[in-house]
């Protein structure tokens, strides 16, 4: 059976765009039609197919851009740092602390411990990609807001600024609908699912839980990989 022309074009474009960096602008439908000697409807259908494959993303009023997905691997021992995953794959990653309503921690961090709540938004390849809420044992991380900007990530801050020898444990990971506040921050349409990861970080030096984190990651930018091997 003959393969539809738009799928042939989509396969060709996918190979071409694999060499382009994330965020690179994709030629317009009109330009693609001219270059590949097809009509504009065929070019549009090819771009629709690439969007379904997560190869490109469209921004209303801005155009079409190369997109990348990053594997977020969860194992019985650890949940990797999202920023390390992105940078190791050649992408760009940064995070900023944002204000949000205080929330009770999802689990006990110790009797009589003052809990510090930290809300962050992560950017990947120039777009908002994730939201994270962390609850930390305040007595273990005094001056955290001053220490955090000097390091690559919160995990690195716990290790280098406080010498806590943190070890991360993956508690739970799933594909789910985000809370309305997260959906708004990430500018996601209704009925969009995200990768949700709940993790706890313990300190080998103190023997205490130092951080509990809930993370919501855009499923079009992160692919959840569960590895059950020891």
Query: What's the CA gap between 140 and 143, in Å, rounded?
Result: 10
Give yes or no: residues 79 and 148 share one domain. Answer: yes
Instruction: Report the sign of the C-alpha dihedral through residues 66, 153, 183, 196, in that order.
Output: positive
In this structure, the answer to whether residues 106 and 178 fall within a common structural domain is yes
**Which domain does 61 fall in, by range?**
5-66
* 25 secondary structure, DSSP code: B
Residues 6+ apart with CB under 8 A from 23: 65, 66, 125, 126
Specify the pLDDT at position 3.
Answer: 85
Give the per-residue pLDDT at 106: 83
- For the chain, the straight-line distance linking the first and the last C-alpha, in angstroms and rounded, comes to 45
Note the pTM of the prediction, 2 decimals. 0.79
Distance CA 218, CA 186 (A): 8
**pLDDT for res 24:** 86
Q: Count structural domains, the chain.
A: 2
CATH number, position 25: 1.10.10.10
Q: Does residue 80 sit in the same domain as residue 19?
A: no
Strand partners, 122: 95, 130
Q: What is the mean pLDDT of each run of 10 residues along the chain (230 residues)?
A: 88 91 88 94 94 84 86 74 85 86 78 89 91 94 88 85 88 90 90 91 93 92 82
Q: Are residues 101 and 175 in the same domain?
A: yes
152 and 211 co-located in one domain: yes
pLDDT tens per residue, range 176-222: 999 999 999 998 888 899 999 998 999 999 999 999 999 999 998 99
Residues 113, 218, single domain; the answer is: yes
């Amino acid at each position: 059976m003959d393969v539809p022309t738009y799928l042939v074009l989509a396969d060709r474009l996918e190979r071409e765009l694999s060499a382009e960096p994330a965020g690179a602008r994709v030629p317009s439908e009109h330009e693609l039609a001219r270059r590949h000697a097809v009509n504009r409807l065929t070019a549009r259908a090819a771009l629709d197919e690439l969007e379904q494959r997560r190869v490109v993303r469209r921004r209303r009023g801005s155009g079409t851009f190369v997109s990348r997905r990053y594997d977020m691997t969860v194992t019985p021992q650890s949940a990797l740092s999202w920023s390390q995953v992105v940078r190791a794959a050649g992408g760009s990653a940064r995070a900023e602390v944002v204000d949000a309503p205080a929330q009770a921690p999802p689990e006990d961090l110790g009797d009589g411990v003052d809990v510090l709540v930290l809300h962050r938004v992560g950017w990947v390849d120039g777009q908002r990609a994730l939201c994270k809420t962390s609850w930390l044992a305040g007595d273990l991380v005094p001056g955290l807001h001053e220490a955090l900007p000097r390091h690559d990530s919160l995990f690195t801050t716990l290790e280098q600024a406080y010498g806590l020898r943190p070890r991360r444990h993956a508690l739970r990971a799933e594909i789910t609908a985000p809370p309305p506040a997260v959906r708004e921050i990430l500018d996601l349409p209704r009925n969009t699912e995200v990768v949700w990861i709940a993790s706890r970080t313990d300190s080998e030096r103190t023997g205490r839980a130092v951080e509990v984190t809930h993370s919501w990651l855009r499923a079009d930018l992160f692919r959840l990989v569960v590895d059950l091997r020891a």
